[in-house]
Amino acid sequence: MGIMDLFRLDGRVALVTGASSGLGVAFAQALAEAGADVVVAARRAGRLAETAALVEKAGRRALAVPADVAKPEDCQRAATDAMAEFGRIDILVNNAGIGTAVPASRETPEQFRQVIDINLNGSYWMAQACGKVMRPGSSIINISSVLGLTTAGLPQAAYSASKAGLIGLTRDLAQQWTGRKGIRVNAIAPGFFESEMTGQYHPGYLRAVGTRILGGQPGEPRHLAATLVWLASDAASYVTGQTIVVDGGVTVT
């Protein structure tokens, strides 16, 4: 087997949450292009068909599963449906997430809990559901954020706490499951990439953040998708418990 063959995902099945828009769509498409069949899950069921069509256009099979990751029963159903359709789950991408920019003195318990329930708790429920059926050699990839490692000038206590929590969850699941179950668990911490969330920010804020990017430009989905495919593949078979920062240098400025 050549070195480039290690990056292929032929014969594997991936489950991607938050797959109805943005990075989730890019992740599903990239995994399919690398050879995986893909289960796409999200709350917005109407948009999942578009992502599934991109997977099929890449020559792979797709299954769309409406699911709210904040509900453990939805996570279990997504895993059950994936197993019923494909008979295996080799890759889990915990991408579903929301954010707020509310000052800590005014953030309501409901606002804080909603972010934690989706970003952190939802990743745990989905990892639990998939971890029960994953075989040795499988890979879980949690999508964290540089805001789990640094700050960015906005009041984002709930979002930052959830993403920092994902980094801790990644380390702990790796130490529980890599040796015993053969499941690698890693995280990606993206920097500033265009998304529905960043589209809500004031342009002045985005310009200010841009000064912290060493390359001067926000990231493109392909930068994250390439890292994701690597972590999902045998090319990263000796990598577990790690948080891979993909931020154009933001965290070193």
Q: Of the listed 124, 159, 201, 205, which one is catalytic?
A: 159
pLDDT digits (tens, 9 = 90+) for 136-184: 999 999 999 999 998 877 888 999 999 999 999 999 999 999 999 999 9
Beta strand spans in the chain (E): 13-17, 37-42, 62-66, 91-94, 139-143, 184-190, 243-246
Annotated catalytic, 205?
no
In a domain, 26, yes or no: yes
Is position 33 within any domain? yes
Residue 160 lies in a domain: yes
Q: How far apart are CA 186 and CA 180, in angstroms?
A: 16
pLDDT per position as a tens digit, 104-126? 999 999 999 999 999 999 999 99
Q: What integer pLDDT is reported at residue 217 of this predicted model?
A: 77
- Residue 152's pLDDT is 73
Residue 46 lies in a domain: yes
| Per-residue confidence (pLDDT) for residue 228, from 0 to 100 | 98
Closest CA to 21 of 199, 229, 202: 199
| Domain of 185, in residue numbers | 3-192+224-244
Has residue 219 been placed in a domain? no
pLDDT for residue 218: 77
Burial of residue 201 (CB within 10 Å: 0-12, 13-18, 19+) is middle
Whether residue 122 is contained in a domain is answered as yes
Higher pLDDT, 91 or 199: 91
5-54 pLDDT, tens per residue?
A: 999 999 999 999 999 999 999 999 999 999 999 999 999 888 999 999 99
Question: Chain-wide mean pLDDT for the chain?
Answer: 93
CATH code, domain carrying 120: 3.40.50.720
Q: How confident is the model at residue 185 (pLDDT cuts 50, 70, 90)?
A: very high
| pLDDT at 211 (0 to 100) | 72
Share above pLDDT 70 across residues of the chain, in percent, rounded to a whole number = 93
Confirm whether 166 is domain-assigned: yes
- DSSP assignment string, 9-64: -TT-EEEEESTTSHHHHHHHHHHHHTT-EEEEEES-HHHHHHHHHHHHHTT--EEE
Residue 215 lies in a domain: no
The pTM score is 0.94
- Count of domains observed in the chain: 1
Tell me the three state secondary structure of residue 160: helix
